[in-house]
Each structure stands twice: as structure tokens, then as C-alpha cells.
A and B are shown apart, each in its own frame.
Chain A
Amino acid sequence: MDMNQYLSMFIDESNDHLQSLNENMMGLEANPEDLSIVQVIFRSAHTLKGMAATMGFEDLASLTHQMENVLDLVRNNKLRMQDFIFDTLFKSLDALESMVQDITGGGEGKADVSAIVADLQAIVRGEVPAAGGASTGSAPAASGQAETPIHLDEFQFSVLEQSIQEGHKVMFVEVAIREDCQLKAVRSYMVFDLLERSGEVVKSFPSVQDIEQAKFDHSFSLYYITQKDASEIQAMILNLSEIDKVTAIALDQESLHQLGQDTAAATAEAAAAASEVAVAVETPVAPAATSTPAPRAAAKEEGAKSPAAGRTGGTPSRTIRVDIERLDVLMNLFSELLIDRVRLEQLASEMQSGDLTETVEHMSRVSADLQNIVMKLRMVPVDTVFNRFPRMIRDLAKSLDKKVDLVITGAETEMDRTVIDEIGDPLVHLLRNAVDHGIESVADRIAAGKPETGTVNLRAFHSGNHVFIEIEEDGRGIIPENVLKSAVKKGILTQEEAASKTDEEAYQMLFAPGFSTAEVISDVSGRGVGLDVVKAKITALGGNVTIYSTPGKGTNFSVQLPLTLSIIAAMMIKLGSEKYAIPLSSIVETGIIKQTQIRTIHGNKMLEFRGSHIPLVSLSRIFSIPDYDESTEEETEIVVVRKGERLVALAVQDFIGQNEIVIKNLGKYLPEIQGISGATILGDGQVALIIDPNAFIK
């Protein structure tokens, strides 16, 4: 089978699973007693293992397998999570991530994981808690067998409890298959099949998976929910051939509770057996992840219509993956539709037919809604970038020996995919800065009378046409004087320049190339590539960064970004018969000037504008417009545009109005044209070019 076609799916899904593993591990670390999280982690790890094994990435599979062993012990209450276990598991996740990255880059996903594997195995071997008494539950004891009782976890226990409350019959069934049976897996399968026809198997020992692979002696036991009587079940199973003995014991609330208490104190025997089994479950495991015990239990729960749902957490989001190119095609087709709509509207108004006008108006409304949806399709929640930060901050804080809480708000805020893809790195940099330079060490914080755990707030929110992302910490803050002193020392500013700077301007100095205030350069931040790179990147995205800081209280980096890169607000202008668009973001103001206000200085046309002289650029001359020249007119409309501090006035013939435009590129064939950044399609289907005002400002 050719696996290549599945590779991208594998990579996508692996990344998803790794992400969820990371997230849930963090959750577990904060809340080590919550076994439902362990279940989720276990399931993710198991699916990952299955996928990796199917795709033939052995190293990936074997590492996940070892992780699974550890997790299995934890979820069965045989191992208590401890710091070093977390560390080892996190290390394993890192290794997995780098393997998946290698695969993404076309590699084989091979890596030497033996050290981590050995660590994990040591945990599995050495950390099994000591025996907790050999007492067994009443029900299994009553069966009169020395069989290992099944341990129900909290979740399965509650499923059983609910079922009893709802009037279902819950029973403990033990089945022994004849010793001379050749295909015991098949026999047991028949038993399961039979049982599932008239009820639900909640839990079995050995696990369903092991039974399917014939990894059991000659008997197995299970918890079963049904409407039938125990004797009926017993008779049913005995009807199958090669079945030696069947015991079915009905459980009531009381015996179940007793069982629950016993479950808490796991027997040594069971622990040992389980860990043995865990090791014994060697790869390759069937790729069908649904056959694992945990998801099976979850599925059964739904089947039993038990209201215990929701405890497993992490319902998969209902999404499909769509190639971004298809969205572009959709968008293009849609704009084509818009053009036809405009044409139809014209025809309708010409024909003056009531019915037609009505229909066209309805179509306009529908297509307006459709347009909104198409636009929204490209929007992704910032969560896709934010989700890797908690892990990063955790590791960072640990390596710096600081205590840091990362509080994320507004992760559901949506932005255009193109912006999202670019914003990750700058944010990483800002966050690292916040933890490294902003938050003080524990000792310093206590000395300053602050709580020893520092807080980094990562906030995202919409405001107008922009998305704001703020990174705020309650650290030591930035002292403007120090920034200026440092800038002078590094020769970025002169003494006089420094003296005249406001606090605001002093903070902006942090973004100057070659600036780093940290006295000691750590390996976390301050490696020369500093905030100037962050600033450059954000500016390139059409955004902006501002710093607010209170010395001693903390610092806030506020990043302002456009909602989307593909749709901008623009001012449409006319030059003769041609229409052009100027991005609104660079327009300062518009106005009308008289020919007499234009002065010529050194052969350049200048204009007095708000107290200073700015150049006047003739667009008609630069673009050699055939049918317009502003110099023949008494009065000229101007658009004042800005790049940084500098201003330029562009002479135009007429303003048409403000529009939201979709940016298109001019195609690969055309060379770069100075002053033109792209094109857009107008409502009437014509193409208008987008002016790049930056080109006129040097």
C-alpha cells in the first residue's frame, strides 16, 4: 500500500495529538489526581502509536508505546504522578515532536530514543507502589475463584452505578474456555459478540485487546450491563461450544460500592499482572485505535445511554481539513458571482419588473451573507498559535528557576490564516523576554513584596479592524532612564538626543537594532537578534507594537495587527479613466489645494502642509496617465500618505470613495512595478491597481 497519500494526514493528526498531549500533560501537572485527564492522554498516545506503527515509523511507535505503559499504570491507580515522571514524559513528547518534524521535512522519523525509553521502562518497573492487601471485592470473591479481580476506574464505576440506578442489571461474568480449545480468541470473541447483542460490556480483564490477541489463559472476566437475568446470560454463553464454565453474578448498589472501595486499594497481584501485561502488549498494535480499552469504554458509555458522559472531557471538535488553495478558488468563484449580481441588478433596474427586482434583491442579501461566510472561512482562532505557549513558558520558567503563571485570554479571537502563520515567532520572542527579563527571580519577588509566582497575561481581542495581542507581566518593569543610558552607551543615541526623549520614545528605543538591556546575556533571550526583529516582522504584517511599563509593577507589550492581509480598507481614486486604490492605513488625510499653493524648490514640487513642506507627487506623470494631467487644473485633490514620520502628497483627479478590497497579486509574469503593490477586482468586474504609497517616500 502506498502510504504517501496518507503522510500529510498522518503529520497533521500527529501534530494535533502531540498538541493535545502537551496540553493535557500541563493540565495533569496542575491537577495530578485527575484520572480523567490521564484517560485523555492515554487515548491520544495510543492513537499516535497506532498511526505511527501503521505508517512504519517504528521509533515513534516504540517511544509512544513506552509512554503508554507508564500512563497505563497511572490511570489504573498503580502509579502516582511525580515530578520526575512528568519530566520524563515531557522529554518523550519533545522527542516525538522532533521525530514528527523530521517526517514533515521528508525524513524517516528516526531518532535515538533509547535513553528516554530506558527512563520510561525504569518508571514502569520501579515505581509500582507496594501491595495494598490481598482483599478482593465481594463479587469476585463470591465467585469462588482465585481469579484476579477487575479494577474499575472512577469513570467505569460511575457508569455501572448509574446503570443500576436506571434499573439496568449489572453483573460480573466469568467465562472459562475449555483447555483444549484451539482458537480461544475466536471463542471469546463469540462470547463478546453474544453479550453485546443484549447489553454492554463495560470492562473486561484481560483487556478486550489482549483477549482478541489470545493473550489470556483460559478464562476472562468482565462487567456487563444488560436487561436480562444472570441465569439467562449464563445459559446463553453455555450454549456456545467449547465453553467450560460460566459464572454470572448480579451486582446491586451495595456490592458495587464495596467493590469501589476495594478498587482504591489495588492488590499487589493485580498491579504486577497489569504491568506485565502492559509490557507484553508489544507493537505492532492494530491501527484501529478504537479497539483500545479506553475509547471502547467511552463508546460503550454512549451506547448504554448513560448520562455519565462529559467526564472524559475533550470532545473532538467537528472540523474538516480543507486545502487553503481550495478556499482561494472558492473566493475567486464567489467574486465572479458578485460581478454577475451587479450586472443583474443593473438589468433589473432597467427592466423595471417587480418580480425580477425582488428576486435580485433577495439574491443580493443571500450573497452578502455568503460573502461573510467565505471571508470567515479563512479565519483561524489565535489559539492555534497560543496553544504551544503554556508548555514553552513552563520549560522556560523551570530552566530559569522562576515561578511563572501564563494566563491566556481570548484564545478564540480569530485572525486571517496568513497573519496567524507569521505571528508565532514574534510572540515567542516577546514571551521569552517577559519571562527572562520581566519576571524577577523568586527571591527578588519576595523582597519586593510580590507573590512569588509571577503572572504573564497573554490576551487577544478584536478592536475595529484590528486584533490586539497583549503580553503583560507583573515583573520589574522598564525604567526609561536606564533604556536611554544604555542607548547612549551603545552609541545609538547622543547625550542630547537622549535628554529630549519622552518615556514613550524611550521605550521605543528597545526596538532599535543592536539594543539589549539585559546585563547578563542568557541563553533564553538577548542573543543579539532582539526586539528589532520582532518590530520589523510586525510592521511587515501591517501592525504595530507599543510598550507600556510601570517600574516595579510590570510591563505590557501591545501588538496591533490587521484582521487580515487579503482584505484591506482602501480609498478608491480616479486618474482620468483609470481607477486606483490607496490603502487607507497609510492615508493621513485628503484635501483640495490650489495651483498657487504649489511651490517649486530645487525643481521639486512642494506643498505647505500643517506647518511643514512636503513633496507633491504627480501620479498622472509617474503612471503616464494618458487622459489626465493635474497641472491644467485650477484646484487639485490630494491624498496625504505617510511612511513612518515622513509625509507625501499624491495628486489625484477625484475621490471615488472608501471600499473594502480583496488584494490579488498581478501574476508571476509581470515584473515588479514601482508604486504598484497588487490589484483588486471592482464591483463591475474591472481590475483596479493598488498603489503602494511607500514607494514614493524615500
Chain B
Amino acid sequence: MAKLRKTANGDAADPSSSHQPDSNHSRPATRLVNVVIPASERDVVKVNNANLVDLKNACDDILKRFLSRPELFKQIHTHTDVRLALGWASVLVAAGTAFYGWKVEFETSKPVVWAGLIVYFILSIAQTLYAYLVEKDIVFVGKRKTFDKRIVTERITITSNTAPSSSSKPPAYSLSATYVRTASGGKSLLGKGKAQAARGYNEFFDENGTMDQGRFETWVTEVVEQVMQEKTQ
């Protein structure tokens, strides 16, 4: 396993730490990701560390920004786009119906307002069902094409949730990754992998709520490497 160099967080004034990202080492069966981000590129992330939702959102954001770097994966925005399309469509239908009801007198406006209301409900239910059945906990879907005697497409899906605290453990960020490698346009399956890991939030956030992004990204890299190595042909 190639060594990863950790850059200390907040080390912005260090001129010698302008590392170049290492190129990916390709081996026939597995790919290892090898990326180091200079500290000067980072924003300081500070959240309220009593708020679990904020903690999870901060981790999700850093994960998304890390994995969608050009040398790693290209993010697929399908889930977000569907949610945006359904949501904005329902908002526009609601606005149109309300405007019509305001302009036109009540009795004559009734059939159109009924129609608008029903369309709005259908869109809202569709949105909820999509979020509940299809999207669930997914935070990142990414794709990568590499060339290894043929064009290989890799697809990674990351879901995350917060494992609540118990009397012995702090609240934890639970990450699970699913990985698929296919060739020739998705028709032949080369390998699959699944991995799951959890770390307490206290490992990434200090008492002020400042996030140690380097440490988090290192851990994410480990999980992604782990899922890419399992069960390859």
C-alpha cells in the first residue's frame, strides 16, 4: 500500500508543503487512490459540535468535495437533479394555482384550483417516495473511467448516517460504500465490493468544533481503497 502523507490542518503558512498530487498507480486488478491536498487550499470548517445534524452535514460536504476531485471521481448528480426537478415543478404548480385563484373569482376558479391541487399532491408524493425508496441515505455517487487494456468504468456509491451515542460510545459517523467495476459500456461485470466503517465524531472534531479535514479524508480514502480491493476478478 502506498504511503499517504498527512498535511496538518491549519498549516497554511508553510511554503514547503505545496505537494503535487501523486498520480494513480494502476495495477491490473485494483486501483489505489493517492491524493494529498495542500493545506493552503482548505477552508477552515467549524461547526456546532453539539448538533449531530451539523456534524453529519459537515462530514458529508467534505466527503463530497474530496471524492469529486478531478483525479478521483466524477460526481453523478442524478438524485439531486430529480429532487430539484420534482421540487421546483411542485413549487411552480402551487404558485400558478394560487395566482389563478387570486385573479379569478372563487366559484369559477374551483375546477382549475382542484386540478392544480391534485397535481401538486402527486408531485409531492412522488418526491417523498423517491427520497424514501430510491435515494435513502446516499450522499455521493461517482463514476470513473480508466484504461486498462479496455475501457473500465468504476462506479462508487456512498451512504452515510449517524450512529447515535450510547453510554459507552460517542455518536459516530457510519459510512458504507458500494463499488462496481464494469467494462464495455457496463455490460460485463468485472468486480463488486462493499465496505462499511464507522468512526466517532470526536475523532474528527475538536472541542471547538473545528474539523480535522485531513484525518477525515485519510479515513475516507482507506474505506474507498478497501471497497475497491474486495472481490475483484
Q: Are chains A and B native binding partners rather than an unrelated pairing?
A: no
Which residues of B come within 8 Å of A, CB atoms? none
Which residues of A come within 8 Å of B, CB atoms? none
